[in-house]
């Protein structure tokens, strides 16, 4: 196991996030490998950490002033052991191959937990949609899809949204795919309702994260009623996490973006949430504008001199990191514990650094890692694929009920896997073990391919 970590570090020394994701899984599955010596002989770790295919490409596009720009596009097809590659596209200036590989690796196990037949992949670009006109975003998406189209398909690889890729971008990407292939097919998920999208898909990641946290609370005979919650981010996941927490009686006091965060001691109610949705989804504005409309709240711009994020340093019961990877550092982890936060459910992918994760596990918090907690998004994407194949559209209650059942089942799977390998109450180990066993067994059934 140490060998495999050295191997991937030496092979791609700059891919730090990928190493971090692999290390966590490898450490969790130690008891599985000890119990199944044939996995070693079959080199399952070496196989599962090497993508089946990596696609990197040039994305040239022209801005509104006719200036040409070039970005880099990626698609990492990590594993098709249990179904077609499935995972989102991220458009953000920080995107590089290491980040896409970590996301694709996490996606393999997450998809394995959903009970649906989906392999793992992830893609994106270092393009920054922020501040671009709709025309510029459209031209970029068209150029991106001009290359990606030859690698994807409804039974091959089905991308979706992620950071910087919402309904607008999915629309432009889908339009170009349709033109190139001359077929109307479920090749992307997160589509608009009028042309093949599923009800509840926009809400699914946030709702699912809260459903998972509710399951964890239920093990202590508790609910969200009256609980104070910290939420980071203000995009898709943060918005619908907030909405579901309100439904269940929670009080949400923070939201953020890359510029800073707001602390609203009175709580973010439905009216304030609607304001944030209008601000972020329509006006594409900044969280700093929140206090202009709600002056009783406070806004704290990001302070580069601080070695911790003050958002995680408020008294609260629950935390829902919903922005990006490694947004909770070791000090933030300690602050959360010291402030009495005892429920942490990760809407974002890998938002906590390993030292913070160790602290949460050591203090026996109800801590749900992203690959379990935020699997509701890809699960409803899987339901969107099923509806597209049948040319049917299920009602809202049906999709929401299926989502609830899937999150319940993921929770049960994590608990059972933890119990059977002697790591009771450890959702990190439980999620990693359950996802790993499922995918590895499928790989072995299919021979050395």
Q: Which residues are catalytic?
A: 122
Task: State how far the Cα of 332 lies from the Cα of 351, in Å rounded to an integer.
Answer: 11
Of the two residues 80 and 242, which places its CB atom closer to ligand NDP in the complex? 242
Where along the sequence are the contacts to ligand NDP (CB under 6 A)?
Answer: 94, 161-164, 166, 205, 233-237, 257-259, 322-324, 347-349, 374, 377
Identify the H or E element spanning 417: helix 396-420
**Cβ partners under 8 Å of residue 367, min gap 6:** 343, 344, 345, 357, 360, 361, 427, 428
User: Is the separation of the CB atoms in 231 and 242 below 8 Å?
Assistant: yes
Please tell me whether residue 299 adopts helix, strand or coil conformation: strand
* C-alpha–C-alpha distance, residues 301 and 237, integer Å: 21
Tokens at 127, concatenated = 């393009």
Q: In this structure, are residues 108 and 442 in contact, taking their beta carbons and an 8 Å threshold?
A: no
Partners of residue 217 on adjacent β-strands? none
Q: What is the DSSP string of 214-260?
A: HHHHHTTT--STT-EEEE---SHHHHHHHHHHHHTT-EE-EEEETTE
Token couple for 350: 């890998």
Q: Which helix (H) or strand (E) holds 355?
A: helix 354-362
Tokens of 329: 């550092």
């Amino acid at each position: 196991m140490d060998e495999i970590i050295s191997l991937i570090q030496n092979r791609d020394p700059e891919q730090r996030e990928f190493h971090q994701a692999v290390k966590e899984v490898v450490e969790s599955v130690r008891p599985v490998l000890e119990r199944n010596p044939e996995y070693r002989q079959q080199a399952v770790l070496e196989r599962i950490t090497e993508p089946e295919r990596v696609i990197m490409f040039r994305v040239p596009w022209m801005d509104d002033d006719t200036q040409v720009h070039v970005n880099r596009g990626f698609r990492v097809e990590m594993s098709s052991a249990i179904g077609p590659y499935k995972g989102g596209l991220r458009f953000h200036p920080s995107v590089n191959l290491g980040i896409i590989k970590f996301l694709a690796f996490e996606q393999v196990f997450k998809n394995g937990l959903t009970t649906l037949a989906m392999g793992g992949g992830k893609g994106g670009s270092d393009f920054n949609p922020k501040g671009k006109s709709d025309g510029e975003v459209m031209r970029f998406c068209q150029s991106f899809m001009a290359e990606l189209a030859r690698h994807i398909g409804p039974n091959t690889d089905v991308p979706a949204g992620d950071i910087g890729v919402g309904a607008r971008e999915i629309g432009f990407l889908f339009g170009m795919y349709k033109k190139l292939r001359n077929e109307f097919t479920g090749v992307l998920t997160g589509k608009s309702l009028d042309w093949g999208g599923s009800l509840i898909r926009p809400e699914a990641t946030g709702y699912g994260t809260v459903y998972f946290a509710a399951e964890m609370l239920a093990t202590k005979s508790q609910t969200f009623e009256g609980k104070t919650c910290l939420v980071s981010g203000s995009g898709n996941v943060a918005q619908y996490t907030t909405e579901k927490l309100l439904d269940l009686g929670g009080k949400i006091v923070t939201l953020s973006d890359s510029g800073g965060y707001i602390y609203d001691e009175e709580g973010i109610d439905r009216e304030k949430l609607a304001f944030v949705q209008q601000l972020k989804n329509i006006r594409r504005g900044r969280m700093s504008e929140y206090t202009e409309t709600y002056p009783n709240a406070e806004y704290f711009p990001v302070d580069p001199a601080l070695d911790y994020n003050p958002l995680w340093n408020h008294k609260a019961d629950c935390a829902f990191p919903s922005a990006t990877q490694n947004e909770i550092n070791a000090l933030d982890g300690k602050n959360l514990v010291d402030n009495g936060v005892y429920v942490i459910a990760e809407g974002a992918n890998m938002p906590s650094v390993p030292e913070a994760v160790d602290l949460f596990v050591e203090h026996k918090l109800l801590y749900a890692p992203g690959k379990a907690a935020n699997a509701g998004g890809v699960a409803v994407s899987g339901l969107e694929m099923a509806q597209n194949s049948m040319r049917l559209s299920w009602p809202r209650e049906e999709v929401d009920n299926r989502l609830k059942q899937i999150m319940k089942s993921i929770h049960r799977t994590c608990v059972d896997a933890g119990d059977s390998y002697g790591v009771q109450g450890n959702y990190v180990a439980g999620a990693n073990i359950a996802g790993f066993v499922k995918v590895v067994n499928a790989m072995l059934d299919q021979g050395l391919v």
